[in-house]
Structure 1
Amino acid sequence: MSAANVKNMIPQLPEENIDMIAATSVLQQQAGDVRQNKPNWQTYAQSKIISNDEFQCVTSLDGPERADYLQKQPSQTAKTLLNMISHITKDQTIQYLLVMIDDILQEDRTRVNIFHDYSAKRKQEVWGAFLNLLNRQDPFIVNMSSRIIAKLACWGKVMMPKSDLNFYLQFLKDQLVEHSNEYIQSVGRCLQMMLRVDEYRFAFVSVDGISTIISILSSRVNFQVQYQLVFCLWVLTFNPLLAEKMNKFNVIPILADILNDCAKEKVTRIILAVFRNLIEKPEEPQVAKEHCIAMVQSKVLKQISILQQRRFDDEDIIADIEFLSEKLQNSVQDLSSFDEYATEVKSGRLEWSPVHKSAKFWRENAQRLNEKNYELLRILVHLLETSRDPLVLSVASYDIGEYVRHYPRGKHVIEQLGGKQLVMQLLSHEDPNVRYEALLAVQKLMVHNWEYLGKQLEKDSEKPNQKPISGKA
């Protein structure tokens, strides 16, 4: 199936987001400088570096007759440009050729088919020449090549093959996390374009792309990068399967934090759009319900109330605010204490919310922690092992102790999951609150039958003259 056909199967996205590079981006600024340094094509021809046909082609493309030449000589255009970027070594000339190719495509998107048709007739892949340039040392060449690859992959009638696609998406992911990458907006624009195509979305998830985006959003990045990366999450959520999986990557709490802090309307708008998709797109009602609960727990309803007091001209923002307000308020009414607890545990952001210290909650729900192959218990144990937050460690230790206290086989389950050893390690934690909660949990783990012991102590206190039971314990 062609990229164009796949795109037609998904909702149209705002046209303002289709442009590949913002006018303020480093790449666009440098491209303007590159255009002013035209190579001496005559010298290349005289030195036999390029043929006469290639000379005629490149000079025609470099002048006012470009559109006419492209229409009459599409095959020669593709042949010349692909050959030149593959064989010329001088960085400055490669830069100029890449800007020329990008301009040709930007002027008319259908021109990507010039390159696809030429390669198809020769049973070659169009991607090779540009993918090779991703290995160059010059960052402008690397990022301009990446920009062209995205256009070829998304605007044409040929889908990018799996091996090349995975390589390219891994490249984009690596560029995102590169320290102080001045081209990060260009990388973000390429991703925004690629993830509009449904088939490319799964490939991005397979290279752990969502985790990378969440990791970057968790750090301090400027609002433009925030917008671009949240946009990527938004287009991913148009696929129902990905919308259902999204919050397993802790998307909702992270976006809720950004929503709370952001001052830019475009960032607010795109976050609200993600939240709406996370409720609307999943085919499983239970998943949509869990997403609503996660939003409530992440204080999104409070933010929605604040946003309702502001004036917005954008009708989409107004509609999303009304939608989310209704859905989240209904969710609060339907929310059970166990739903609230389960969502909090899954978020990894434990705090002393009322359910933790409720004896009634643990009496009624301790056994439910065994559901789905001990899913919630496994998360608690994982938090004990990986979290560095004293509050999370304290609450997780307390919960494990309460589970053991209220579920007869709890001690055995926790030992099997490796929780007992982790709790005992926290006895030497630097934080006194963690040490205290770990000590209480260990005491509960060491008692064989907490409820039985409690009842026996009550009976013994009522019968002060009873003789002690002889024999071994």
Structure 2
Amino acid sequence: MTIENAELTTEQVLRRDIPWETYMTTKLISGTDLQLLRRYDKMAERFKSQLLDDDGPAYIRVFVTILRDIFKDETVEYVLALIDEILTANPRRAKLFHGSAFSNEDTYEPFLRLLSKGNWFIQEKSCKILSLIVSARPSAQNGVDASNSKSKHNSTEDVLKSLVEWLCAQLRKPSHPSRSIPSAINCLATLLKEPVVRRSFVQADGVKLLVPLISPASTQQSIQLLYETCLCVWLLSYFEPAIEYLATSRALPRLIEVVKGSTKEKVVRVVILTLRNLLVKGTFGAQMVDLDVLQHVQNLKAQAWSDEDLLDALNQLEGGLKDNIKKLSSYDKYKQEVLLGNLDWSPMHKDPHFWKENINCFEENGFQILRVLLTILDTSNDARTLAVACYDLSQFIQCHPAGRVIVADLKAKERVMKLLNHDAAEVTKNALLCIQRLFLGAKYASFLQA
């Protein structure tokens, strides 16, 4: 579908002269409406603001009436531009759409209907305005929506669901090449504060649409899009079903890349707040340790930030990551990994504190874990497992006072020597380190590795 008025601006639209008298003659607006429009249209901003302070609901009612009853694009665009101008200057005026003047009207319907117009200017403004006014509705009382809009037309939940579906459609297949995605993300950053929107967004498979947008940015426009995307992810980090989606995506490594490369305080803040929320969820804590988030957090702490929320979140994240490293570096966890026979470079293997604190535990059950490591060298076909086993043997030799003697007595030398000709460089490197420590002792082997 060809989209109309893709490059039209609010300034261009507001320069138009709309024939309000003609609309009164054809009874599309009343005489009172015409008086209000004459008083308001083309006036200075200060004067308009005063009129809205004095009799805001009356002017909003006229605008909604026009959007409901008049279908000429130029007029619809003009009224949408007027409303957008009002809400941009003061977003709190969105509450005017929920006054007693609208007790018998559905204020959402005109904007919801206009989302389906093949006119980008109308779509974009309707989406923005609808997001703001639905978010400004009165709080629910006793579980019932307190908005004055008639529920028989569109319940608030139906409106939000329709709006989320439209926003997700824009993220999947943008109507406008450069403005659809920023507009959709901007609205979602407003709407995702609401549980019903989070639920609808997850059900519409919207979480995966955000992940590709989490990437380092340089221009002012792209930084704003990145910030609002990360704000959406932060809001979703309070919703368990969304967290499950995030866990199966590349959201975490992308967030870390953003925080490593961003100097914009608001971007760093929202990413760190998100990481703090995710730290205690599922396997996120372990993933953050593997991705060396602690080092990045400590680097950020060394910088001069003015935001107290950011500083508090950095401290909390640092403390939580250190706790996670301790849990991941526990001997019981290490023992379980070795007994399963499938080794990887989890934090404990290269953590000096782990070896220092737990080296005597290796003596349990007649050096059972050392014997299992040697069995792994004989039986495993996995290069990563063999490399880690060789490295762990070399760590034992280095850290245990009698490490060389014990490993030699267990006939480790022959097994490790065979691996010096392995096809995988990772295996041969760690087999060589083990042999060096076995033959030369920890001090000289470490010198050779330096």
Same fold (TM over 0.5): yes
Task: State whether structure 2 residue 345 is matched by structure 1 residue 354.
Answer: yes
Distance across 2 between alignment mates of 1:294 and 1:398: 18
Distance across 2 between alignment mates of 1:219 and 1:110: 32
Question: Retained in 1: the 8 A contact 2:207–2:242?
Answer: no
Other-structure match for 2:284: 291
1:29 offset after TM fit, Å? 9.4
Structure 1: segments with no counterpart, 5+ residues? 1-26, 343-351, 365-393, 400-435, 438-473
Other-structure match for 1:275: 275
Aligned partner letter, 1:156:
R
Give the SS at the match of 2:9. Answer: helix
Distance across 2 between alignment mates of 1:87 and 1:137: 18
1:133 offset after TM fit, Å? 0.8
Work out which of the residue numbers 24, 33, 36 in structure 2 matches 1:54.
33
Give the SS at the match of 1:39. Answer: coil
Distance across 2 between alignment mates of 1:128 and 1:68: 28
Return closer, same or farther for 1:38/1:183 CA change in 2, 3 Å cut-off. farther
Distance across 2 between alignment mates of 1:182 and 1:109: 21
Distance across 1 between alignment mates of 2:39 and 2:310: 48
Return closer, same or farther for 1:66/1:225 CA change in 2, 3 Å cut-off. closer
Distance across 2 between alignment mates of 1:37 and 1:134: 23
What is the correspondence of 1:394-413 to structure 2 with a 5 Å cutoff? none
Q: Deviations over 1:22-41 (max 9, x none)?
A: xxxxx999223333334232
Distance across 2 between alignment mates of 1:66 and 1:309: 49
Question: Retained in 2: the 8 A contact 1:210–1:249?
Answer: no
Distance across 2 between alignment mates of 1:339 and 1:155: 50
1:143 offset after TM fit, Å? 0.7
Question: Aligned-residue CA RMSD in angstroms?
Answer: 4.2
Q: RCO (CA 8 Å, sep 6+): is it higher in 1 or 2? A: 1
Q: Deviations over 1:405-432 (max 9, x none)?
A: xxxxxxxxxxxxxxxxxxxxxxxxxxxx
Work out which of the residue numbers 166, 171, 181 in structure 2 matches 1:171.
166
Other-structure match for 1:257: 257
Return closer, same or farther for 1:245/1:211 CA change in 2, 3 Å cut-off. closer
Other-structure match for 2:306: 313
Work out which of the residue numbers 179, 188, 192 in structure 1 matches 2:189.
192
1:184 offset after TM fit, Å? 3.0
My pick for the range that moved more, 298-307 or 329-338, is 329-338
Question: Retained in 2: the 8 A contact 1:244–1:278?
Answer: no
Other-structure match for 2:98: 116
Other-structure match for 2:69: 87
Other-structure match for 1:98: 80
Other-structure match for 1:136: 117
Question: Retained in 2: the 8 A contact 1:105–1:111?
Answer: yes
Q: Deviations over 1:133-178 (max 9, x none)?
A: 1112221111111111011111121566222211101111222344
Return closer, same or farther for 1:302/1:230 CA change in 2, 3 Å cut-off. same
1:75 offset after TM fit, Å? 5.7
Distance across 1 between alignment mates of 2:102 and 2:31: 25
Q: Deviations over 1:90-127 (max 9, x none)?
A: 333222201222333455555434433467532x4321
Give the SS at the match of 2:16. Answer: coil
Q: Percent identity?
A: 23
Aligned partner letter, 1:321:
L
Total equivalences in the alignment? 328
Other-structure match for 1:212: 209
Other-structure match for 1:456: none
Rg larger in 1 or in 2?
2
Task: State whether structure 2 residue 25 is matched by structure 1 residue 30.
Answer: no
Distance across 2 between alignment mates of 1:166 and 1:28: 28
Other-structure match for 2:130: 149
Give the SS at the match of 1:77. Answer: helix
Report the TM-score, using the length of structure 2 for normalisation.
0.61
Return closer, same or farther for 1:335/1:107 CA change in 2, 3 Å cut-off. same
Give the SS at the match of 2:193. Answer: coil
Give the SS at the match of 1:89. Answer: coil
1:294 offset after TM fit, Å? 1.3
Return closer, same or farther for 1:79/1:307 CA change in 2, 3 Å cut-off. closer
